[in-house]
Chains A and B, each alone.
Chain A
Amino acid sequence: MEKPNKIVAKHLDFFYGDFKALEDISVEFKKNKISALIGPSGCGKSTFLRCLNRMNDLIPGSAVKGEVYIDGEDIYGQNIDVVHLRRRVGMVFQKPNPFPKTIFDNVAYGLRVNGIKDRKIVAKRVEKSLRQAVLWDEVKDRLHSSALGLSGGQQQRLCIARALSVEPEVILMDEPASALDPIATQKIEDLIHELKKDFTIIIVTHNMQQAARVSDITAFFYMGRLVETGDTETMFTRPQLQQTEDYITGRFG
């Protein structure tokens, strides 16, 4: 059965000052699907991703045109509470960035920020998130030691747990495995597959094989434009456009 759209962008332009980093992007992301954004570096993948939870608002001189809908509601509309939006649309970055705090506090942080103080509830949520991030078994005996003592792969799963703790609907991941070794990368990829049943996931990756492995839908960006999008199998076996074909087979430029 066709899944409903979770996020829809319509004619989205994005500017850093005078520089138009995104031009006329229209695309739909289905609920409970994993969508991958691919394209050469500098083509606007991260910029686009950050438009989906308004992280770009923080960049001085930037401007957005067009619309982004989540469950049919325009997130650039008048009555949008940006803090609430970012809780619904969580984000995981390229480099694991745990706080210099305990493992427990890293995950509890988002909850506390969101006003959840009840210790029992916090403890429950922390455990649930760590389990969802498939990290629980590795850290349950040292929840109160520093997060910085974890390996890179564990730190990244901790950051995923932190993003999950506030029970978002969408998770944006910007090259979440690019700083990790192959085994840690594989764990992240398996985890992404697991998370699909509960979340809508959009992942930026410069690794095409990774996009092919983890995603259901692939969108190819080039120079600020969306060139082609389609189900991942089709995109990697018989893309429609020559430009996509050339990029995917490494015959670019």
Chain B
Amino acid sequence: MERHFFKELENLKMTILNMAALTQRALESATTAYLERDEQLGQTVIDGDKKINALELEVDQYTLKLLALEQPMAKDLRMILGTAKISNELERIADQAVNISERTQFLSKYPPLNSIPAMEQLIDVSLSMYKKAVSCFVNEDVKAAYEVRKMDDRADQYTLEVLQTLVEYMVKNTPATERRRLNTRRSIQTIIISRCLERVCDLSTNIGEHVAFITQGINIKHQGIDAEL
């Protein structure tokens, strides 16, 4: 007979995966809404956040219950502590998606800025890092956790490029006062979006680190970026 506790652990894992799927959808919708200037799609992200918040609370309660009632040991213990942390990261990633969508609501009302290649690259790398982080949890793949960490350098680089491009634009391109104000506002909103994406990358890196803790009981948080297994 399978132990009741193992079913509970499986449930916990399913709840996290559910949360991860909703968060992925939020992130994809938020970035698509930004790129396609789709206010309605952005609104679905804002509306959908409640569900993710509720799941985070559910995971908190569930992990507390399992710790108190089952007194888990070794990997089971690490799994429970790790999922509590991962659900926290997911909730924060979903918040970033909401933040991006709110900026998009503003930006969509005005003509688009010139396209910024680094921004598109940043969106790509954020989504890949996020997906890799989740798959690293699903497959308990610590190698993938290191790969996520390595991608974070690129994310930082793109974020910097977005900032530089837009600062340049704000300073140089707009003589007339009214126009300058609008350009500045659009640029700043866009910079905020790039910051949100950069946070998504950091939080995805954290997820990978929690997976390393769950699977091997090791802490890779403050090791050099080139550290390997």
Contacts and interface: CB of A to CB of B under 8 A. Distances in A.
A209 B67 CA distance: 13
A78 interface: no
Interface in B43-64: none
Interface string B162-173: 000000000000
Interface in B30-82: 71-78
Contact of A250 (B3, B78, B216, B217): B3
Contacts of B71: 209
Contacts of A249: 72-76
A237 interface: yes
Nearest to A209: B71
A212 B73 CA distance: 9
Q: Number of contact residues on A: which range applies?
A: 10 to 19
Interface in B64-122: 71-78
B55 to A, nearest CB: 26
Nearest to A250: B3
A209 to B, nearest CB: 5
Interface string A230-241: 000000111100
A238 B73 contact: no
Nearest to B81: A237
B224 to A, nearest CB: 22
Judged by DSSP, the binding face of B is: helix
Contacts of A248: 73-74
A237 B3 contact: no
Contacts of B74: 236-239, 244-245, 248-249
Contacts of A239: 74
Q: Number of contact residues on B: which range applies?
A: 10 to 19
B72 A237 contact: no
Interface in A214-246: 236-239, 244-245
B5 A250 contact: yes
Contact of A238 (B3, B72, B78): B78
B6 to A, nearest CB: 8
A239 B78 CA distance: 12
A237 B78 contact: yes
A204 to B, nearest CB: 18
A212 B77 CA distance: 13
A213 B9 CA distance: 23
A104 B9 CA distance: 52
Nearest to A240: B217
A189 to B, nearest CB: 15
Given A208-B73, A209-B71, A249-B73, A238 B5 contact: no
A221 to B, nearest CB: 17
A209 B3 CA distance: 18
B73 to A, nearest CB: 5
Interface string B203-229: 000000000000011000000000000
Q: Which of A208, A245, A250 is packed against the most chain B CB atoms within 10 Å?
A: A250
Q: Which of A236, A238, A245 is packed against the most chain B CB atoms within 10 Å?
A: A238
Interface in A96-117: none
B79 to A, nearest CB: 10
Contacts of A245: 74-75
A226 to B, nearest CB: 18
User: Which 7 residue pairs are nearest across A and B when measured between Cβ atoms?
Assistant: A238-B217, A248-B73, A248-B74, A249-B76, A236-B73, A245-B74, A249-B74
Interface of A: 208-209, 212, 236-239, 244-245, 248-250
Interface of B: 3, 5, 71-78, 216-217
7 contacts: A236-B74, A237-B74, A237-B78, A238-B74, A239-B74, A244-B74, A249-B72
Given A238-B78, A238-B216, 10 more contacts: A212-B73, A236-B73, A236-B77, A237-B73, A237-B74, A238-B75, A239-B74, A244-B74, A248-B74, A249-B76
